[in-house]
Amino acid sequence: WFVSCIMIYYVVLYFVRRYFVEHLKMVLVLLFLISIGLYFVYNDGYQYNMYGATYYKWIHYFIFMLQGAMMGLYSKRNAIEVKNGWMELGKTFVCVLLFYMFCSFKNSETWNIVQVLSLIPLYGVVHYVYRLCNANGIKKFYKEKKLGWCMNAIGGLCLEVYLVQSSLFTDKLNSIFPLNIPIIFIEIVLF
């Protein structure tokens, strides 16, 4: 099922890029509205977690994947220059706080629906982290030979680590805690 979802993502991305590349903002807004509408289809009531064990999260995760692609595409067209990374860090922090605040309503029978609003600050988190990484002070680190290579390696492994970690987590090594944590981590990175 997981591989099928990834393939669907690539097919949809292909058509979006092929036919709607000049209208990406409109596509993003449309997907955002569809995602909010589908929340009511997938929401099964009390304590529903839209980021938990549900296929609904794949719908809104696509929005943020498209957002990242748009930011990369637009940054190639127009160079982004952020002089003050502290402002972007502050905006990121506020968006993270709002995200968790909205997600905390998932345990409320009356206010469970509020968690769908967490998509808005999550959009802000992605936007401001991207801008933060384009701050002049951070870009200096990219250009250093060893540190830049390390940052690229870690960034390149993020998706792969996310994809394989759930199949490699185990509690069989809990008897050697805290050594089990680095052992599992190394296993995940090697895999």
C-alpha distances (whole Å) from 71 to each of 24, 64, 78, 130 are 10, 10, 10, 8
- How many CB atoms are located within 10 Å of the residue 134 CB? 18
DSSP output for 156-170: HHHHHHHHHHHHH--
- Among 70, 62, 73, smallest CA distance to 38 is for 62
**pLDDT for 95:** 96
Q: Which residues contact 20 (CB under 8 A, 6 or more apart)?
A: 26, 27
Q: Inter-axis angle of helices 145-168 and 136-143, to 10 degrees?
A: 90
Q: What is the pLDDT of residues 67-115, one digit of tens each?
A: 888 888 877 666 667 777 889 899 999 999 999 999 888 877 778 888 8
Bridge partner list, 129: none
Is the pLDDT at 1 greater than 60? The verdict is: no
Q: What is the pLDDT of residues 10-54, one digit of tens each?
A: 777 777 777 887 888 888 888 888 888 888 877 776 667 787 777
C-alpha distances (whole Å) from 164 to each of 4, 41, 138, 151 are 15, 29, 29, 20
Q: If you average pLDDT over residues 6-11, what whole number do you get?
A: 70
Amino acid found at 48: Y
CB 66, CB 105: distance < 8 Å: no
Q: What is the pLDDT of residues 157-186, one digit of tens each?
A: 877 787 777 777 778 878 888 888 888 888
Q: Inter-axis angle of helices 136-143 and 85-103, to 10 degrees?
A: 100
Is the pLDDT at 138 greater than 90? The verdict is: no
Q: What is the pLDDT of residues 141-150, one digit of tens each?
A: 888 888 888 8
Q: If pLDDT is split at 50, 70 and 90, which confidence band does 125 have?
A: very high
- Among 90, 5, 93, smallest CA distance to 54 is for 5
**pLDDT for 134:** 83
Using CA atoms, how far apart are residues 162 and 26, in angstroms rounded to an integer? Answer: 29
**pLDDT for 3:** 62
**pLDDT for 4:** 67
